[in-house]
Amino acid sequence: MGNETRYFNHACGDAANLKAVSLLSRGNLLTNNMLFFTKRTISKGEELTFSYRGKDMEEQKSGIRCL
């Protein structure tokens, strides 16, 4: 169950190899879709990662350490 993001894992800042972009669609229904772009060439079998927290939260001093 779930969508394609179930195959992605979390990484902070520059360690992430994907960039998530939110796209709002204003057709009959307002929907929020996520687009993912690679930041560099991805090798076969390489883990796909992006920041679950987003850029704004990454820049805050939240006290949460990134591993």
8-state DSSP, 59: H
pLDDT at position 41, please?
Answer: 92
Note the pTM of the prediction, 2 decimals: 0.57
> Above 70 in pLDDT, residue 42?
yes
**Furthest C-alpha separation in the chain:** 42
Position 16 pLDDT exceeds 70 = yes
Do 56 and 20 touch, CB atoms closer than 8 A?
A: no
Whole-number Å distance between alpha carbons of 13 and 1: 28
With tokens 């805050």, the residue in question is 60
